Amino acid sequence: MRVGRALILAQRGRLASAGQRWRSSMPAVEPSEPQLPPFNHTPAPYQGPSKEEVYALRKQYLSPALFHHFKDPIMITEGKMQYLYDDKGRRYLDAFAGIVTVSVGHCHPGVVDAVKRQSELLQHTTTIYLNPQIALYAKELTDRLPGNLKVAYFVNSGSEANDMAMMMARLYSGNYDILALRNCYHGMSEGTMGVTAHSTWKFNVPQGFGIRHTLNPNPYTGAFGNDGKRYAEDVKDVISTSTPGGVAGFIAETIQGVGGSVPLADGYLPAVYDMVREAGGVCIADEVQTGFGRTGTNYWGFQNQGVVPDIVTMAKGIGNGLPLAAVVTTPEIAQTLAQRLHFNTYGGNPVCCAGGRAVLQAVDEDGIQANAAKVGDLLLERMRGLQEKHSIIGDVRGQGLMLGVEMVKDRASKEPAAAETGQVMQRLRELGVLIGKGGLHGNVFRIKPPMCITTDDAEFLTEAFDLALSEL
């Protein structure tokens, strides 16, 4: 019996060994790549210069400061709603919305029609003449803001808007110092470069006069976790030690964009707004990325913290890609600019205002804010599921369609995984997803698509993300 059992065991061993050799000789089964959801649009055949020719022209004639994603850049020739098409006609899910600029969708038909109609009537005039578009738009825009935020000044970019907001704060308060957050981004003009708190966006030139940067209330990496009131104590200390005791204003994004989709710790803004106003300053909300329903829960990001600012700046999604921005404030603060002549040649351009009005209409009629909440909640759930599966994901955060996924080498030390972020980003491109990244170390994925994105798109994005992370 013992001999028979030994023979059986030996035979099993030979079979197991043969089976192992057979399995190891088989080609590895690759996971299937996710496919974009069906979409009823055929891009026009591209007939312009080749990508190589365009790249050569760009390198010769455009500033070398202009960077591009990927070593082999993509040439985009068409866009439709949440998708982009390259010169070969390949479709991509735009998960970055032209750096959080396309709000209601690429070439949204309502926006296109409004711009086309106005272009056929009058392409440009200035504010020295009356024009219905700018007047109607100012009313429609300010009607969507709370309190006494009822006066608009139109400009062309977020940098211009933030420059103007800081000047108005100084004129109205009679003080000079502006408080801002570390890790913030407010633009690339000389003034806004000074208030921005990222070395990667600062040139070695005189800048930042009268700017005081306070602790960043980052719930993930900050010293006080999600305790906003403890971070706010630093603002009180800066006012009492680094200013004459009075300040002109405080400016903050309600979710930091370029800084890596960082929400402000709970309770932070209410506490800081009280401190700033007590010191004679005004409160500026930078809604360049968080406005127009992107957070889903509210039309404006500042509403998520239960505050009403004195000045609101907005750009990017305001025009769905048109060069349009605005500063909205109270009549009392707005009056400060009437002390001198002030003028913006293109601000309030009738074509841009017509497009801006169409964006407001699309946000309402297309249910954009509700969609941002629905799809954003789904993406947040899916990304947190991936966080449980992949240890390289240190944090998943944000609201609505303003989300961030922070990549770390180690969850305990939170050391940035910048190189790995680049690898995943490249793989996502191959899978058909164009996404952004941010944070000081470039290790945070910024998921901020056009707000017409669907739940099917969100599932596709999740599957592509999962596959790219699994291949690291």
Work out whether the CA dihedral 218, 256, 461, 407 comes out positive or negative.
negative
pLDDT tens for residues 239-272? 999 999 999 999 999 999 999 999 999 999 999 9
11 residue type, one letter: Q
Residues 460 and 39 sit within 8 Å (Cβ to Cβ): no
pLDDT in tens, 100-119: 999 999 999 999 999 999 99
Please give the backbone phi and psi of residue 302, each rounded to the nearest 5 degrees, phi first: -65, -25
pLDDT of residue 18: 39
Q: Is the model more confident about 32 or about 1?
A: 32
Angle of helix 368-389 relative to helix 455-470, nearest 10 degrees? 20
Collapsing DSSP to helix, strand or coil, 61 comes out as helix
Give the pLDDT confidence of 9-28 residue by residue, as tens digits: 444 444 344 344 333 333 44
**Tokens 């998708």 correspond to what residue?**
83
Confidence of residue 225 (pLDDT cuts 50, 70, 90): very high
Element (H, E) at 115: helix 109-121
- Per-residue pLDDT reduced to its tens digit, 349-395: 999 999 999 999 999 999 999 999 999 999 999 999 999 999 999 99
Asked if residue 262 lies in contact with residue 256, where contact means CB atoms within 8 angstroms, the answer is yes
| Residue 357: partners with Cβ closer than 8 Å, 6 or more residues away | 114, 133, 136, 137, 140
How confident is residue 8, by pLDDT bands cut at 50, 70 and 90? very low
> Is the pLDDT confidence value at 2 over 50?
no
Helix (H, G, I), strand (E, B) or coil at 150: coil
For residue 215, the model assigns a pLDDT of 98
Record the pTM: 0.92
Q: What is the mean pLDDT of residues 201-220?
A: 95
- What's residue 248's pLDDT? 98
Query: What confidence score (pLDDT) does residue 12 get?
Result: 42
- With a pLDDT cut of 70, the percent of the chain lying above it is 93
Helix (H) or strand (E) holding 254: none
Dmax over CA atoms of the chain, in Å, equals: 109
Structure tokens belonging to residue 53: 């020719």
- Structural domains of the chain, ranges and CATH numbers in brackets: 109-365 (3.40.640.10), 367-470 (3.90.1150.10)
* CA 170 vs CA 66, 92, 148, 184: distances in Å: 33, 45, 19, 20
Q: Is the distance from CB of 161 to CB of 313 less than 8 angstroms?
A: yes
Query: Please, which pLDDT band fits residue 87 given cuts at 50, 70 and 90?
Result: very high
Rounded to the nearest integer, the mean pLDDT of the chain is 93
Instruction: State in Å, rounded, how far the first CA of the chain is from the last one.
Output: 52
Stretch (H or E) spanning 429 = helix 418-431
d(CA 224, CA 324): 38
What is the pLDDT, as a whole number, of residue 22?
33
